[in-house]
Amino acid sequence: MLLIAFTLIFMVCLDSFGLAEEWVRKANMPTPRVTFSASEVNGIIYAIGGWRGSPLANVEAYDPGTDTWLRKTDMPTPRTGVTTSAVNGIIYAIGGGNGIGAFYSAVEAYDPQTDTWSKRADMITARGFLTSSVYNGKIYVFGGWRGSFSSDVEVYDPATDTWTKKSDMPTPRHILSSAVVNGKIYVIGGRGLVQVEVYDPVTDEWSRGKNMPFPKDSMAIGVIHGIIYTIGGFSRMWAVEAYDPATDTWVEKLRMPTQRGSACASVVNNRIYIVGGGVNANLSSPLPEGVVEAYDPYRAPKRPFWFDSEDKHTTLWGEAKIKN
């Protein structure tokens, strides 16, 4: 009985010290926008392109440490529905369109150190509203829209500036999301879809993961400690759902304060920063917002006096993860 009582007190004390998820409002981005892309380099988040009544070339950099934004050199090609990925400190802006029916294969590379852009080899298939992820120094690009749903998969090697066609996705889709965990790329959602499909870059083969609980597209997505967080998105603009590839399970998490879709996510110091987005999926009349909110799935309290110096403590009810 004494052990049970101590355990219950321990749980209540942990809760009172704030061991829980947390959302924090941050400084708004200067240019509200939807259908853009964001990438992180050296702890700075770069918001690139998008739509605000017309395609944007704007590049704005956010420093989570100072909660400030800076305007950077515009992307050469204004575009909406672009995807970006960073390799070795360089951000590659891939694909997109003009919002009125034209789609691009253009690839442009941004160097944050010099604040300059350069042209790179075009993607094989022009398309917008696609997604990309990095594995082993190469950028894998999935799906999108090119007048119809795309199942195309292409890989870009920055070292050789070349593109290679890979095995198509099982499910054609656009406005989808992707993330890398333990050498596998998880392609998630899309307009009206719940499918999770898993790509192995080593074997160029596909398998299935457990479906999302609800159909969702235009989600922000981030990975912390091997868990994939899908945040916002049209049809469930408030929802945060966590997928654990190790157990192939989904869990509902703390809702985002500002509901929206077409936002972007970047992870810095184990926090997911959700940038921009809007409340209307119709690109002809978007309602973009400049809201920035930071999500911490494992908010750490100040260490109670009865904790020792270890970062993990096992109890009868699981592990309490406490960060310094």
Residue 70 lies in a domain: yes
Q: In sequence order, what are the beta bridge partners of 201?
A: none
Reply yes or no on whether the pLDDT at 292 is more than 80: yes
User: Tokens for 192?
Assistant: 């009206």
pLDDT in tens, 107-159: 999 999 999 999 999 999 999 999 999 999 999 999 999 999 999 999 999 99
Share of the chain above pLDDT 70, in %: 84
| Pairing label, strands 68-72, 83-87 | unpaired
Confidence of residue 288 (pLDDT cuts 50, 70, 90): confident
In 96-219, which ranges are E strands? Answer: 107-111, 116-120, 131-135, 138-142, 153-157, 162-166, 177-181, 184-188, 196-200, 205-209
Q: What's residue 19's pLDDT?
A: 53
pTM: 0.87
Reply yes or no on whether the pLDDT at 214 is more than 50: yes
Q: Is the separation of the CB atoms in 155 and 163 below 8 Å?
A: yes
Interatomic CA distance for residues 112 and 63, integer angstroms: 13
| Sequence-ordered list of residues with C-beta below 8 angstroms from that of 180, at least 6 positions apart, any chain | 133, 134, 135, 186, 223
Residue 304 lies in a domain: no
Interatomic CA distance for residues 125 and 281, integer angstroms: 24
Interatomic CA distance for residues 55 and 101, integer angstroms: 12
Q: Is the separation of the CB atoms in 265 and 220 below 8 Å?
A: yes
- Give how far Cα 243 sits from Cα of 195, 222, 228, Å: 12, 11, 5
CA nearest neighbour of 79 among 63, 109, 110, 100: 100
Query: What is the Rg, in whole angstroms, of the alpha carbon atoms belonging to the chain?
Result: 20
Residue 10 lies in a domain: no
- How do the residues of the chain divide into helix, strand and coil, expressed in percent and rounded to 5? 5, 45, 50
CA nearest neighbour of 262 among 289, 284, 297, 285: 289
Residue 136 lies in a domain: yes
For residue 186, give its domain range.
20-299
Residue 31 lies in a domain: yes
Residue 191 lies in a domain: yes
Residue 3 lies in a domain: no
User: Tokens for 230?
Assistant: 């899908």
Reply yes or no on whether the pLDDT at 323 is more than 80: no
Q: What's residue 3's pLDDT?
A: 41
Q: How many domains does one find in the chain?
A: 1
Q: What's residue 280's pLDDT?
A: 64
Judging by beta carbons within 10 Å of its beta carbon (0-12, 13-18, 19+), is residue 50 exposed, middle or buried?
buried
User: Tokens for 260?
Assistant: 């929206």
Please give the mean pLDDT across all residues of the chain: 87
Reply yes or no on whether the pLDDT at 61 is more than 60: yes
Q: What's residue 289's pLDDT?
A: 85
Residue 222 lies in a domain: yes
